[in-house]
Each structure stands twice: as C-alpha cells, then as structure tokens.
C-alpha cells in the first residue's frame, strides 16, 4: 500500500512517550478531525437497525422452537442474528474509543449494556483494546489485544511443544471455531493483566448480569432453549468477529517493526488493512474494514468512516484488500524480519532448514 511518508502519533490516551513525540503531520491528517463529530440521527438509526432486529431475531428463534418447527429453521435465523451481533460489537467498539455518542454517561451505560449482549466487560476491554492501538505492529510490545504472531527467529528458537501450540493456535478451525468460544465465553470472564480496580469490577458486574440472564432464561424458556438459541448465534457472530479482527493486521504486505523503528503512521497505513467488502458486508461490519483510517483516527465513529474515505484522496489506497484475496491470509503465520513478510508454515519450515544447513 502506498502512503505519504510522514509520522503521526496514534490518538490514544495510553500512548507511550515515544508515541507522543512531536511528529510532522501532513495537512490532510489534521483535516480528518472533522469526521470525529457525532451525529444524533445516525446514532438513533444504528441503534434501531441493529439492536431491535437482533433482539427480535432472538425472540423469533424461540418462537420457531415453541411452534415445533424443524430446528434447521431456528439455526438458519442464527445467521442474520450472528451478523447483527457483530454489528452490535462494532458499536460497543466505538464506545470504547470514546466515540459514537457524545455524552460520556450515555457511552458508559450503552457500552455496559452491549458488553453484556456481547459477553465482554466494557471498561476492561476498553483498556486492553487501547493498548492494542498503541502497540499494533510493534514487535517489542506484543501480547495484549492482538493475535499471537511469532517472528521467524522466535519460531526457530521455539521448542517442538511451543511450535505445536503455535500451529494449533493458528489453525483456522481453532482460531475461528473454538477461538471465539474460548475468548468470549471463558477468557473474558476474567480481568486482563494489569487491570485497575474499576476494570475488575466491570468484569464482575458483566458476569453477574450474564448469569442473571441465563438464570432468567432457565426459569422461563428453559436452559436448553436458551443454549439452542444463543450458541449458534454466538458461533456465527464470534467466527465473523474474530475473522475481522484477524484480517485487520494479518495480511500481505503488512508492517511490523521494533520500538526504535516503529512508526505509528506506517502501522496505520501499512499495517492496518483497507478491507474493501461488498456493501452488505460493509454494513454488517460497521465499516471496520476501513481499518487504516480507524488506526489513524480512532475517534472517528463507524458511521463517518466511509465519508472520511470519500473526502480524503490520500486514504483511497490503490490496492485494497478484497474478500477473495483476504481468504489467502489464513495461510500466513510467521513474520520474517529479513524479508518483512508474513510466511506460511511451509515457507517458515523451508527457511528453518536453510538456517540449519548454513
């Protein structure tokens, strides 16, 4: 991807001192601030066209079982419900960046509500995701809010057991199948490393609310009905959500660098994908495919991202990542610092053999 060679620090409160250094910004970057403004009409529209049909589909799924229709009908309804769950998470994600709605109290309330619906504690996730924004593409600051990615040197030095664990983690069936279940249903039930007292409390309260919903379902529609509704919705939404997060930074060519060379402008414009999706998928994913813009200005709400792209020629990169092309990114596993490319496992193994023979 081509971009103007200028440095700009990430607009995140948790930025490191190196990232806060005064950097020369091209004029067009400063002009993106206008798109950070919230829009009450678009806010209302997104809440109505996302939350209402999502909850309505959950009710309809229950009704199909109450009417004793084949479970295949219920399962089919989980597809649009799962898609809307992804869209709910995008709104939740915006709120975590201090955007979507202007009022801080409204952001907190709505963020906590959507956090329960998406099985994610709002305050705790907001912190870990903020860290992701200030460390994306930094080889020395991996480990929080990112996808486990080994360098070729690390892969070569790893024990057979460690390589097996890594291969297992990067297997598509694990990452996009069991991965969402593990992350959202189990991992998110605990605070992330280094969480504050308030963030720990947010995890506890979210767990209490989720438990309350499960108990209410158990005493009304029954736990079996609840699971037959929620699990397929979660499997669809979770797989799609994890895929979107994966493809935002795991593609070719990409960007990784050590702290002394790491540049936030490159991390945004080279290391964050411009994922050009068909219109319906772009709507479902809340424009998050315009991820290079999001990492450049995280406070732009999702409903303004397309307007920002349309108004800024510098963001209209020549080689956006398209849907069919993106599927090949599943094979990319190991970052090679010498070629500055993500390698497949066969490529990494061949290179490893060459290192041993040298």
What pLDDT sits at residue 358? 54
Contact 275, 291 (CB under 8 A): yes
Q: What is the pTM of this model?
A: 0.90
CA distance 133 to 11: 9
What pLDDT sits at residue 333? 96
CA 339 vs. chain centroid, Å, equals 27
Strands (E), 135-215: 150-151
Torsion of the alpha carbons at 126, 131, 133 and 139, rounded to the nearest 10? -150
What pLDDT sits at residue 193? 87
- Residues of the chain short of pLDDT 50, as ranges, are 1-22
């Amino acid at each position: 991807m081509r971009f103007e060679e200028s440095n700009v620090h990430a607009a995140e409160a948790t930025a490191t001192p190196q990232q806060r250094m005064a950097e020369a910004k091209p004029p067009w970057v400063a002009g993106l601030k206008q798109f950070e403004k919230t829009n009450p009409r678009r806010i209302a529209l997104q809440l109505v066209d996302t939350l209402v049909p999502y909850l309505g589909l959950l009710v309809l799924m229950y009704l199909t079982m109450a009417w004793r229709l084949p479970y295949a009908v219920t399962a089919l309804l989980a597809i649009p419900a799962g898609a809307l769950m992804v869209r709910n998470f995008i709104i939740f994600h915006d709120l975590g960046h201090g955007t979507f709605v202007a009022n801080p109290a409204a952001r907190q309330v709505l963020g906590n509500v959507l956090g329960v619906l998406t099985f994610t504690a709002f305050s705790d996730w907001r912190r870990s995701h903020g860290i992701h924004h200030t460390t994306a593409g930094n080889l020395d600051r991996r480990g929080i809010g990112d996808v486990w990615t080994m360098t070729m040197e690390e892969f070569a030095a790893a024990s057979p057991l460690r390589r097996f664990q890594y291969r297992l983690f990067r297997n598509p069936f694990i990452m996009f199948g069991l991965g969402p279940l593990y992350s959202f249903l189990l991992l998110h039930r605990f605070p992330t490393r280094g969480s504050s007292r308030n963030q720990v409390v947010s995890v506890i309260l979210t767990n209490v609310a989720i438990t309350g919903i499960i108990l209410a379902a158990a005493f009304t529609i029954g736990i079996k009905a609840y699971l037959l509704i929620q699990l397929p919705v979660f499997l669809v939404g979770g797989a799609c959500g994890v895929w979107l997060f994966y493809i935002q930074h795991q593609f070719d060519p990409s960007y990784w660098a050590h702290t002394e060379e790491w540049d936030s402008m490159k991390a945004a414009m080279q290391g964050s994908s411009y994922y050009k999706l068909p219109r319906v998928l772009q709507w479902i994913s809340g424009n998050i495919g315009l991820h290079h813009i999001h990492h450049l200005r995280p406070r732009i709400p999702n409903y303004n991202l397309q307007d920002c792209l349309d108004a800024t020629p510098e963001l209209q990169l020549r080689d956006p990542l398209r849907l069919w092309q993106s599927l090949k990114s599943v094979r990319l596993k190991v970052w090679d610092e010498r070629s500055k490319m993500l390698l497949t496992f066969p490529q990494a193994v061949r290179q490893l053999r060459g290192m041993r023979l040298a």
